[in-house]
Chains A and B, each alone.
Chain A
Amino acid sequence: MDPVSKVSDYRKLEESVTLSTVEGPLGASGSDGASTELFTLNMGPHHPATHGVLRLLVTLEGEVVRDLKPIIGYLHTGIEKTAETKSYWKVIPVIERMDYLAYFFNSMAYCGAVETLLEVEVPKRAQYLRVIHMELNRIMSHLVWLGTAALDLGAMSMFWYCFRERETILDLFEQSTGQRMHTRYFQIGGVIEDIPVGFAAKLKYLTDEMPRRITQYEALLTKNEIVLQRLRNVGVVDEKTLLGLGVTGPLLRATGNPWDLRKAAPYCSYDDFDFKIPVGTVGDNYDRYRVRTAEMRESVKIIEQAMEGLPEGPHITEDRKIALPPRHELATSMEALIHHFKLVTEGFRVPAGEAYHPIESPRGELGCFVRSDGSSKPARVHMRDPSFVNLQSLSTMVEGSYIADLIATLAMLDPIIGGVDR
């Protein structure tokens, strides 16, 4: 039996309203022109459901969205400009603050671009440690998305469950890097420190527990009547339109296109791991939800494999011209002291050139373009942030749907305004 036919009479009545022929407002005669009057609503910049300081100019016909223009820039902090005034390794802390839920990805894209210019080899152990932290970060970012998106649909308890698990991951970050957010853990040529004693055990606890927790979330949401009604067949955009709009990540995968840079163009040893790329079929909000929750499971698998196969060796390149010497060498080696002094004062110089390094962030292709003029400071740092690009597809997704669905679609789009505005 078709599940749609099971819905209540009220739902049938609600669904029988066609969106294209909107009746006049209550009390209006309908045919006197009042029914076609358009109403422009300013939403934001301070609106709890816009996930940051995003302003939307929505043109409404009754309750139906006819046009939408995102207005951005309220969180613009000039990070790309700031980066030009800092030496290469001091750029990492500011770069991390762009997309504030994907800080390991920001620094990975930037470090990857600089490493391409320097042609420095990253040790295998550093690559695995990067993968572990990036995948933890991906789960963390998806948890924040799931919690806030469910909150927008009225599911309050999801928020607390998701933030409980997020807290466990942030504790892990604190243990291995010293910071919960914006950790400055990835350095050019590797990572700043090896993982501490006890990290593996705590991580094991998380990777054992996480699939069970995801099952719990899915039990709450996946077949929930409200979720199904709010998400299914809402915000559908076909693959071709999304590709034209440059959309990548879970939004594109929800339409059935399995484009994921971790598989397509593996960087950072991703080809060592066995994982799947979840894809959707319809490309509606429900598929976006399913793709992201399935991605969390795959990330757990990657972390388990990376932790199990973590190779021995240095955690950062041995090239003293790029990476700081170990602390104990400073007391005994004159060269180490000179290198340390040079790196901390001037930084290292990068040969002139241009490099674009794309990686797969939780929201899609995160690319960093770095231009070097041969000095110790980058001449241009540009982030191709997936939120910035994906936000363009919002108007295509919501045109012709209810304004209530706009909130749900925006939540499922998952833009991080820190990344949009940079």
Chain B
Amino acid sequence: MEKSLKIAIKELNFFYRDFKALTDISLDVYAHEVTALIGPSGCGKSTMLRCLNRMNDLIPYSRVEGRILLNEQNICDPDVDVVSLRRRIGMVFQKPNPFPKSIFENVAYGMRVNGIKDKAYIAQQVETSIKAAALWDEVKDRIHESALGLSGGQQQRLCIARAMAVKPDVLLMDEPCSALDPIATQKIEELIHQLKKTYTIIIVTHNMQQAARVSDITAFFYLGKLIETDVTDTIFTRPKLKQTEDYITGRFG
């Protein structure tokens, strides 16, 4: 199957005030692949992720240089409508963050804010999304109860369902398993395998094994620079650079 380019990051720089958090990042992300961003804390991988749905706009005194092309459109352009961009690029956060609303309302939220009023469509899409997040059997009897009553792993799958319900193109995952136990983590990883048939996924992770298990492409970040990118198997077995090897074998970081 021919790989199709989904996102092309071109010579991207990112600044917090005078601090350069990202330096000259160029990275291609292909459709229906999982791209993992790895690297030690503070290396810029989360910042990179948040450039992709312009979440960094919320940070005062921050600045972006360079381009990010999503389906060949530059999303760093100030004219881009960030609200519709964020609908197309879903995000799952580090800690499960369901709203203090019912399970149903959590998943329906994205559709409601995007102006969808058709009740039958919303109900059907809520069910489809929760099923796609492999959560339906666990919650189908209490769909109108508070989402805060779910376990951490269930909450995180609910957040994935919530992100999928608006039918995005791309899913960004910022260390989605860091607050979860191994069993919940395994479920999310299995889910990622399923989801890449439909979505393009970019995942930030601190867990080397997780990157090796779930991703097709791995990009290693260090001190705001993209050190090495390659097919995941290659990165983990025959990295080109010593720095990469040191990190993935646990010698630093």
Asked if A pairs with B, the answer is no
Which residue numbers of A lie inside 8 Å of B, CB to CB? none
